[in-house]
Protein backbone atom coordinates (compact mmCIF):
# COMPACT_ATOMS: atom_id res chain seq x y z
CA UNK A 1 0.00 0.00 0.00
CA UNK A 2 1.38 3.40 -0.99
CA UNK A 3 1.60 6.41 1.27
CA UNK A 4 -1.49 8.68 1.22
CA UNK A 5 0.31 11.90 0.41
CA UNK A 6 -2.83 14.04 0.49
CA UNK A 7 -3.14 13.42 4.22
CA UNK A 8 0.24 15.00 4.95
CA UNK A 9 0.28 17.69 2.24
CA UNK A 10 -0.64 20.53 4.69
CA UNK A 11 2.21 19.46 6.97
CA UNK A 12 4.59 19.35 4.01
CA UNK A 13 3.70 22.94 3.12
CA UNK A 14 4.23 24.01 6.72
CA UNK A 15 7.53 22.13 6.82
CA UNK A 16 8.77 23.99 3.74
CA UNK A 17 7.78 27.41 5.11
CA UNK A 18 9.37 26.67 8.48
CA UNK A 19 12.56 25.34 6.89
CA UNK A 20 12.95 28.47 4.76
CA UNK A 21 12.52 30.74 7.79
CA UNK A 22 14.95 28.67 9.85
CA UNK A 23 17.54 28.88 7.09
CA UNK A 24 17.18 32.67 6.93
CA UNK A 25 17.70 32.90 10.68
CA UNK A 26 20.68 30.57 10.43
CA UNK A 27 22.21 32.62 7.60
CA UNK A 28 21.97 35.73 9.76
CA UNK A 29 23.64 34.02 12.73
CA UNK A 30 26.31 32.52 10.48
CA UNK A 31 27.08 35.96 9.04
CA UNK A 32 27.58 37.34 12.55
CA UNK A 33 29.95 34.51 13.48
CA UNK A 34 31.88 34.93 10.22
CA UNK A 35 32.38 38.60 11.04
CA UNK A 36 33.88 37.67 14.40
CA UNK A 37 36.28 35.33 12.63
CA UNK A 38 37.46 38.32 10.60
CA UNK A 39 37.50 40.80 13.48
CA UNK A 40 39.60 38.52 15.70
CA UNK A 41 41.63 36.84 12.95
CA UNK A 42 44.95 37.83 14.52
CA UNK A 43 43.88 38.73 18.07
CA UNK A 44 44.86 35.52 19.83
CA UNK A 45 45.05 37.30 23.19
CA UNK A 46 41.39 38.35 23.09
CA UNK A 47 40.37 34.80 22.18
CA UNK A 48 42.50 33.35 24.97
CA UNK A 49 40.87 35.68 27.50
CA UNK A 50 37.39 34.79 26.23
CA UNK A 51 38.16 31.07 26.45
CA UNK A 52 39.47 31.45 29.99
CA UNK A 53 36.31 33.32 31.02
CA UNK A 54 34.13 30.71 29.31
CA UNK A 55 35.94 27.92 31.17
CA UNK A 56 35.22 29.65 34.47
CA UNK A 57 31.58 30.41 33.62
CA UNK A 58 30.88 26.83 32.52
CA UNK A 59 32.65 25.16 35.42
CA UNK A 60 35.26 23.65 33.12
CA UNK A 61 32.63 22.01 30.90
CA UNK A 62 33.24 24.19 27.87
CA UNK A 63 32.83 22.78 24.37
CA UNK A 64 34.94 24.90 22.03
CA UNK A 65 38.39 25.18 20.47
CA UNK A 66 41.45 27.35 20.78
CA UNK A 67 44.13 28.17 18.21
CA UNK A 68 47.27 26.06 18.55
CA UNK A 69 50.14 28.32 19.68
CA UNK A 70 52.57 26.90 17.11
CA UNK A 71 50.50 28.47 14.32
CA UNK A 72 50.18 32.01 15.69
CA UNK A 73 51.43 33.37 12.35
CA UNK A 74 48.35 31.99 10.55
CA UNK A 75 45.27 34.29 10.58
CA UNK A 76 42.05 32.55 11.55
CA UNK A 77 40.23 33.81 8.46
CA UNK A 78 42.85 32.83 5.88
CA UNK A 79 43.60 29.57 4.13
CA UNK A 80 47.00 27.90 4.16
CA UNK A 81 48.32 26.53 0.87
CA UNK A 82 49.57 22.95 0.68
CA UNK A 83 53.38 22.87 0.63
CA UNK A 84 56.23 20.42 1.20
CA UNK A 85 54.71 17.38 -0.49
CA UNK A 86 57.11 14.50 0.25
CA UNK A 87 58.61 12.84 -2.82
CA UNK A 88 57.84 9.43 -1.36
CA UNK A 89 55.59 8.29 1.47
CA UNK A 90 53.42 5.42 2.61
CA UNK A 91 49.73 6.22 3.03
CA UNK A 92 47.46 3.69 4.72
CA UNK A 93 43.68 3.80 4.57
CA UNK A 94 41.39 1.66 6.68
CA UNK A 95 37.64 1.13 6.82
CA UNK A 96 35.20 -1.51 7.97
CA UNK A 97 31.82 -3.08 7.34
CA UNK A 98 29.68 -5.49 9.30
CA UNK A 99 26.87 -8.02 9.29
CA UNK A 100 24.70 -7.25 12.29
CA UNK A 101 23.32 -10.00 14.53
CA UNK A 102 19.81 -11.13 13.63
CA UNK A 103 17.82 -12.27 16.66
CA UNK A 104 15.19 -13.79 14.35
CA UNK A 105 17.73 -16.13 12.76
CA UNK A 106 18.21 -19.74 13.96
CA UNK A 107 21.81 -18.92 14.97
CA UNK A 108 23.35 -15.74 16.34
CA UNK A 109 26.59 -14.13 15.17
CA UNK A 110 28.04 -10.91 13.87
CA UNK A 111 30.75 -10.38 11.29
CA UNK A 112 33.16 -7.47 10.94
CA UNK A 113 35.44 -7.02 7.96
CA UNK A 114 38.28 -4.50 8.02
CA UNK A 115 39.72 -3.42 4.68
CA UNK A 116 43.17 -1.84 4.43
CA UNK A 117 45.12 -0.38 1.53
CA UNK A 118 48.81 0.51 1.69
CA UNK A 119 49.55 3.12 -0.96
CA UNK A 120 53.15 3.86 -1.96
CA UNK A 121 53.18 7.54 -2.87
CA UNK A 122 55.89 8.52 -5.35
CA UNK A 123 56.98 4.95 -6.03
CA UNK A 124 56.37 2.75 -9.04
CA UNK A 125 54.73 0.10 -6.90
CA UNK A 126 51.17 -1.18 -6.84
CA UNK A 127 49.27 -0.74 -3.56
CA UNK A 128 48.96 -3.66 -1.17
CA UNK A 129 45.46 -4.53 -0.01
CA UNK A 130 44.19 -6.97 2.60
CA UNK A 131 41.22 -7.66 4.84
CA UNK A 132 40.81 -8.79 8.44
CA UNK A 133 37.48 -10.62 9.00
CA UNK A 134 36.26 -11.04 12.58
CA UNK A 135 33.47 -13.52 13.40
CA UNK A 136 31.88 -13.43 16.84
CA UNK A 137 29.17 -15.68 18.28
CA UNK A 138 27.75 -16.53 21.73
CA UNK A 139 29.65 -18.92 23.96
CA UNK A 140 28.29 -21.16 26.67
CA UNK A 141 28.49 -18.43 29.31
CA UNK A 142 25.16 -16.71 28.75
CA UNK A 143 25.84 -13.96 31.27
CA UNK A 144 29.19 -13.07 29.71
CA UNK A 145 27.50 -12.55 26.34
CA UNK A 146 24.91 -10.14 27.73
CA UNK A 147 24.86 -6.96 25.63
CA UNK A 148 27.46 -8.15 23.13
CA UNK A 149 25.09 -8.93 20.29
CA UNK A 150 23.50 -5.53 19.76
CA UNK A 151 23.95 -3.20 16.81
CA UNK A 152 25.48 -0.57 19.12
CA UNK A 153 28.15 -2.95 20.41
CA UNK A 154 28.94 -4.22 16.92
CA UNK A 155 29.49 -0.63 15.79
CA UNK A 156 31.89 -0.09 18.69
CA UNK A 157 33.79 -3.31 17.97
CA UNK A 158 34.06 -2.34 14.32
CA UNK A 159 35.47 1.08 15.26
CA UNK A 160 38.03 -0.47 17.60
CA UNK A 161 39.01 -3.04 14.97
CA UNK A 162 39.48 -0.29 12.37
CA UNK A 163 41.90 1.78 14.42
CA UNK A 164 43.60 -1.33 15.83
CA UNK A 165 44.39 -2.81 12.41
CA UNK A 166 45.36 0.60 11.06
CA UNK A 167 47.75 1.24 13.96
CA UNK A 168 49.37 -2.18 13.62
CA UNK A 169 49.82 -1.71 9.87
CA UNK A 170 51.33 1.74 10.34
CA UNK A 171 53.89 0.35 12.76
CA UNK A 172 54.73 -2.53 10.44
CA UNK A 173 55.32 -0.11 7.58
CA UNK A 174 57.32 2.33 9.73
CA UNK A 175 59.70 -0.50 10.62
CA UNK A 176 60.42 -1.07 6.92
CA UNK A 177 60.96 2.45 5.59
CA UNK A 178 62.40 5.86 6.35
CA UNK A 179 59.57 7.51 4.40
CA UNK A 180 56.72 9.25 6.22
CA UNK A 181 53.96 6.76 7.06
CA UNK A 182 50.51 8.34 7.25
CA UNK A 183 47.66 6.26 8.69
CA UNK A 184 44.32 7.70 7.63
CA UNK A 185 41.18 6.76 9.53
CA UNK A 186 37.74 7.33 8.03
CA UNK A 187 36.29 9.05 11.10
CA UNK A 188 37.11 11.30 14.04
CA UNK A 189 40.06 10.67 16.33
CA UNK A 190 38.31 12.14 19.36
CA UNK A 191 36.28 8.98 19.72
CA UNK A 192 33.38 8.41 22.07
CA UNK A 193 30.76 5.67 21.59
CA UNK A 194 27.66 7.10 19.93
CA UNK A 195 24.74 6.90 22.32
CA UNK A 196 27.07 6.07 25.20
CA UNK A 197 26.21 6.86 28.79
CA UNK A 198 29.70 7.92 29.92
CA UNK A 199 29.75 4.84 32.14
CA UNK A 200 32.44 2.21 32.69
CA UNK A 201 31.79 0.48 29.39
CA UNK A 202 32.28 3.73 27.50
CA UNK A 203 35.47 4.49 29.40
CA UNK A 204 36.83 1.02 28.62
CA UNK A 205 36.08 1.51 24.93
CA UNK A 206 37.76 4.90 24.87
CA UNK A 207 40.87 3.55 26.59
CA UNK A 208 41.07 0.78 23.99
CA UNK A 209 40.89 3.44 21.29
CA UNK A 210 43.58 5.53 22.98
CA UNK A 211 45.75 2.42 23.28
CA UNK A 212 45.86 2.20 19.48
CA UNK A 213 46.74 5.89 19.23
CA UNK A 214 49.56 5.40 21.72
CA UNK A 215 50.83 2.46 19.68
CA UNK A 216 51.31 4.73 16.67
CA UNK A 217 52.97 7.37 18.84
CA UNK A 218 55.38 4.76 20.21
CA UNK A 219 56.33 3.80 16.64
CA UNK A 220 56.79 7.47 15.85
CA UNK A 221 59.08 7.96 18.85
CA UNK A 222 61.13 4.96 17.78
CA UNK A 223 61.25 5.55 14.04
CA UNK A 224 60.23 9.21 13.63
CA UNK A 225 58.01 8.49 10.64
CA UNK A 226 54.56 7.21 11.73
CA UNK A 227 51.59 9.58 11.94
CA UNK A 228 47.89 9.10 12.63
CA UNK A 229 45.01 11.20 11.31
CA UNK A 230 41.23 11.04 11.27
CA UNK A 231 39.34 12.32 8.22
CA UNK A 232 35.71 13.44 8.50
CA UNK A 233 33.84 14.56 5.41
CA UNK A 234 31.04 17.12 5.93
CA UNK A 235 31.62 17.41 9.71
CA UNK A 236 28.78 18.69 11.87
CA UNK A 237 30.85 19.96 14.78
CA UNK A 238 30.94 23.57 15.97
CA UNK A 239 33.93 23.93 18.28
CA UNK A 240 35.34 26.97 16.46
CA UNK A 241 31.88 28.54 16.35
CA UNK A 242 31.67 28.22 20.13
CA UNK A 243 35.15 29.70 20.45
CA UNK A 244 33.89 32.78 18.63
CA UNK A 245 30.63 32.84 20.58
CA UNK A 246 32.62 32.94 23.81
CA UNK A 247 33.57 36.49 22.81
CA UNK A 248 29.93 37.42 23.53
CA UNK A 249 30.21 36.75 27.26
CA UNK A 250 29.14 39.87 29.15
CA UNK A 251 27.52 41.33 26.04
CA UNK A 252 23.96 41.40 24.70
CA UNK A 253 23.08 38.30 22.70
CA UNK A 254 21.69 39.44 19.35
CA UNK A 255 19.56 36.28 19.18
CA UNK A 256 17.72 36.81 22.46
CA UNK A 257 18.25 40.50 23.18
CA UNK A 258 19.50 39.53 26.64
CA UNK A 259 22.94 39.19 28.21
CA UNK A 260 24.68 36.21 26.60
CA UNK A 261 24.28 33.04 28.65
CA UNK A 262 27.61 31.14 28.76
CA UNK A 263 25.79 27.91 29.67
CA UNK A 264 25.02 27.45 25.97
CA UNK A 265 28.75 26.96 25.38
CA UNK A 266 28.61 23.54 27.02
CA UNK A 267 27.33 22.07 23.76
CA UNK A 268 27.31 22.74 20.04
CA UNK A 269 25.14 25.59 18.83
CA UNK A 270 22.13 24.20 16.96
CA UNK A 271 22.53 24.73 13.23
CA UNK A 272 25.85 26.57 13.37
CA UNK A 273 28.75 24.42 12.21
CA UNK A 274 32.41 25.10 11.59
CA UNK A 275 32.25 23.65 8.08
CA UNK A 276 29.90 26.41 6.89
CA UNK A 277 32.21 29.00 8.44
CA UNK A 278 35.29 27.73 6.63
CA UNK A 279 33.49 27.05 3.36
CA UNK A 280 33.50 30.82 2.90
CA UNK A 281 37.20 31.10 3.81
CA UNK A 282 39.09 28.21 2.23
CA UNK A 283 39.98 27.88 -1.42
CA UNK A 284 40.48 24.43 -3.00
CA UNK A 285 43.32 22.47 -1.35
CA UNK A 286 43.75 25.02 1.46
CA UNK A 287 43.55 24.25 5.16
CA UNK A 288 42.65 26.38 8.13
CA UNK A 289 45.00 27.05 10.99
CA UNK A 290 45.30 24.28 13.57
CA UNK A 291 43.00 24.23 16.60
CA UNK A 292 43.03 22.36 19.89
CA UNK A 293 39.71 20.77 20.82
CA UNK A 294 38.27 21.86 24.17
CA UNK A 295 35.78 19.37 25.61
CA UNK A 296 35.13 17.01 28.47
CA UNK A 297 35.98 14.07 26.23
CA UNK A 298 39.30 15.53 25.14
CA UNK A 299 40.35 15.82 28.79
CA UNK A 300 40.38 12.01 28.87
CA UNK A 301 42.56 11.90 25.76
CA UNK A 302 44.84 14.62 27.11
CA UNK A 303 45.37 12.70 30.35
CA UNK A 304 46.67 9.79 28.25
CA UNK A 305 48.96 11.99 26.16
CA UNK A 306 46.65 11.87 23.13
CA UNK A 307 44.97 15.29 23.16
CA UNK A 308 43.23 15.81 19.81
CA UNK A 309 43.75 18.82 17.56
CA UNK A 310 42.28 19.50 14.13
CA UNK A 311 42.21 21.67 11.05
CA UNK A 312 39.63 22.17 8.33
CA UNK A 313 40.40 21.34 4.72
CA UNK A 314 38.90 22.23 1.35
CA UNK A 315 39.47 18.98 -0.57
CA UNK A 316 39.06 20.64 -3.94
CA UNK A 317 35.41 20.18 -4.92
CA UNK A 318 32.74 22.86 -4.65
CA UNK A 319 32.24 24.09 -1.10
CA UNK A 320 32.66 20.73 0.60
CA UNK A 321 34.75 20.97 3.76
CA UNK A 322 36.47 18.16 5.68
CA UNK A 323 37.95 18.07 9.16
CA UNK A 324 41.32 16.44 9.73
CA UNK A 325 42.01 15.31 13.30
CA UNK A 326 45.58 14.88 14.53
CA UNK A 327 47.04 14.03 17.94
CA UNK A 328 48.77 16.86 19.80
CA UNK A 329 52.14 15.14 19.32
CA UNK A 330 51.62 15.55 15.57
CA UNK A 331 50.13 19.05 15.74
CA UNK A 332 53.10 20.35 17.74
CA UNK A 333 55.30 20.01 14.62
CA UNK A 334 54.16 22.43 11.87
CA UNK A 335 56.54 20.87 9.33
CA UNK A 336 54.87 17.49 9.80
CA UNK A 337 51.41 19.07 9.53
CA UNK A 338 52.49 20.65 6.23
CA UNK A 339 53.46 17.20 4.94
CA UNK A 340 50.19 15.63 6.11
CA UNK A 341 48.21 18.46 4.54
CA UNK A 342 50.02 18.05 1.21
CA UNK A 343 49.69 14.25 1.18
CA UNK A 344 45.95 14.38 1.88
CA UNK A 345 45.43 17.01 -0.82
CA UNK A 346 47.35 14.80 -3.25
CA UNK A 347 45.00 11.95 -2.33
CA UNK A 348 41.91 14.11 -2.94
CA UNK A 349 42.10 14.37 -6.72
CA UNK A 350 38.45 13.20 -6.70
CA UNK A 351 37.64 15.40 -3.68
CA UNK A 352 38.00 12.48 -1.26
CA UNK A 353 41.10 10.53 -0.18
CA UNK A 354 41.74 7.70 -2.62
CA UNK A 355 42.91 5.32 0.10
CA UNK A 356 39.65 5.75 2.02
CA UNK A 357 37.55 5.13 -1.08
CA UNK A 358 39.49 1.94 -1.80
CA UNK A 359 39.43 0.82 1.83
CA UNK A 360 35.65 1.06 1.78
CA UNK A 361 35.48 -1.04 -1.39
CA UNK A 362 37.82 -3.63 0.06
CA UNK A 363 35.94 -3.89 3.35
CA UNK A 364 32.38 -4.21 2.06
CA UNK A 365 30.68 -7.54 2.74
CA UNK A 366 28.62 -8.51 -0.30
CA UNK A 367 25.24 -10.20 0.02
CA UNK A 368 26.58 -13.32 -1.67
CA UNK A 369 29.39 -13.45 0.90
CA UNK A 370 26.86 -13.38 3.70
CA UNK A 371 24.71 -16.02 2.00
CA UNK A 372 27.70 -18.33 1.57
CA UNK A 373 28.74 -17.88 5.20
CA UNK A 374 25.25 -18.73 6.42
CA UNK A 375 25.17 -21.84 4.24
CA UNK A 376 28.48 -22.90 5.78
CA UNK A 377 27.04 -22.41 9.26
CA UNK A 378 23.83 -24.27 8.44
CA UNK A 379 25.67 -27.23 6.94
CA UNK A 380 28.06 -27.36 9.86
CA UNK A 381 25.25 -27.37 12.41
CA UNK A 382 23.66 -30.39 10.74
CA UNK A 383 20.10 -31.21 9.65
CA UNK A 384 18.59 -30.95 13.13
CA UNK A 385 19.47 -27.25 13.38
CA UNK A 386 19.74 -26.33 9.70
CA UNK A 387 16.03 -27.08 9.24
CA UNK A 388 15.06 -24.57 11.89
CA UNK A 389 13.50 -21.54 10.27
CA UNK A 390 13.61 -17.87 11.04
CA UNK A 391 11.01 -16.52 13.44
CA UNK A 392 7.43 -16.28 12.09
CA UNK A 393 7.68 -12.49 12.31
CA UNK A 394 10.78 -12.37 10.12
CA UNK A 395 9.40 -14.93 7.67
CA UNK A 396 6.26 -12.84 7.29
CA UNK A 397 8.28 -9.71 6.60
CA UNK A 398 10.42 -11.52 4.04
CA UNK A 399 7.35 -12.66 2.13
CA UNK A 400 5.34 -9.43 2.20
CA UNK A 401 8.31 -7.20 1.37
CA UNK A 402 9.47 -9.35 -1.51
CA UNK A 403 6.63 -8.08 -3.69
CA UNK A 404 5.65 -11.63 -4.70
CA UNK A 405 2.68 -12.22 -2.40
CA UNK A 406 -0.54 -10.27 -2.03
CA UNK A 407 -3.41 -11.90 -0.16
CA UNK A 408 -6.73 -11.66 -1.98
CA UNK A 409 -5.15 -10.81 -5.32
141 and 157 in a single domain? The answer is yes
| DSSP codes of every residue in 87-111 | SSEEEEEEEEEEE---TTSSS--EE
Q: Give me the domain span that covers residue 299.
A: 89-363
Residue 154 lies in a domain: yes
Domain assignment present for 289:
yes
Same domain, 189 and 338: yes
Q: Does 335 score more than 60 pLDDT?
A: yes
Indicate if the pLDDT at residue 405 is higher than 60. Answer: no
Q: What mean pLDDT do residues 142-148 have?
A: 71
The phi, psi pair for 212, rounded to 5°, reads -70, -40
User: What's the pLDDT tens digit per position in 249-298?
Assistant: 988 777 677 888 889 899 887 788 999 999 999 999 999 999 999 999 99
Is the model's pLDDT at 124 over the cut of 70?
yes
Cα four-point dihedral sign 139, 140, 144, 147: positive
Q: Is residue 40 pLDDT above 50, yes or no?
A: yes
Upper half-sphere CA count for residue 334 (Cβ side, 13 Å): 14
Residues 354-380 have pLDDT tens digits of 999 999 999 999 999 999 998 888 888
The single-letter DSSP state of residue 259 is B
Average pLDDT (1-20) is: 86
375 and 248 in one domain?
no
Decide: 160 and 116 in contact? Cβ < 8 Å: no
Sheet of strand 308-313: strand arrangement: 64-67, 291-294, 308-313, 322-327, 226-233, 181-185, 89-99, 110-121, 128-136
Neighbouring C-alpha atoms within 13 Å toward the C-beta of 332: 7
Is the pLDDT reported for residue 401 higher than 50? Answer: no
- Of all residues in the chain, the percent with pLDDT exceeding 70 is 90
Q: Are residues 306 and 242 in the same domain?
A: yes
Residue 408 — pLDDT band, cuts 50, 70, 90? very low
Report how far apart, in Å, the C-alpha atoms of 175 and of each of 17, 219, 315 are: 59, 8, 30
Residue 26 resides in a domain: no
**Residue 394 reports pLDDT greater than 70:** no
Average pLDDT, the chain: 90
Number of domains present in the structure of the chain:
2
223: nearest Cα among 173, 158, 169: 173
pLDDT value of position 199: 60
Distance from the first to the final alpha carbon of the chain: 13
pLDDT at 383: 72
pTM exceeding the 0.85 threshold for the entire prediction: yes
249 with 378, same domain? no
Q: Are residues 252 and 388 in the same domain?
A: no
Instruction: Please determine, for residue 395, whether its predicted confidence score (pLDDT) is greater than 70.
Output: no
**107 has pLDDT over 90:** no
Are residues 371 and 351 part of one domain?
no
Q: How many Cα neighbours within 13 Å face the side chain of 286? A: 18
In order, the DSSP letters of 236-257 are ---HHHHHHHGGGTTSB-TTTS
Asked if 133 and 235 sit in the same domain, the reply is yes
Q: Note the pLDDT of residue 399.
A: 47
Amino acid sequence: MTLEYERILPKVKDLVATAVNRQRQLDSRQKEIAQKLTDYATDRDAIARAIQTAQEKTGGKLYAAEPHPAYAHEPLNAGVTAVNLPETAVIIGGDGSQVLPDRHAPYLYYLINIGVIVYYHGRNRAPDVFTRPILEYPGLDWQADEGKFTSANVAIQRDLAEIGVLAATACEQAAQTDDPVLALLDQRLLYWPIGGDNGRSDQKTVYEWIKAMRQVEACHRERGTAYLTGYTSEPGTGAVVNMLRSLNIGRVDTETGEIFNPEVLKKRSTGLVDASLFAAVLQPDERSTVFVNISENNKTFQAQGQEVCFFYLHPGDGKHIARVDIPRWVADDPAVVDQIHALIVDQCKMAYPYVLTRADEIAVILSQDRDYLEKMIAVGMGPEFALRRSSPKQSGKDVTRSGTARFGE
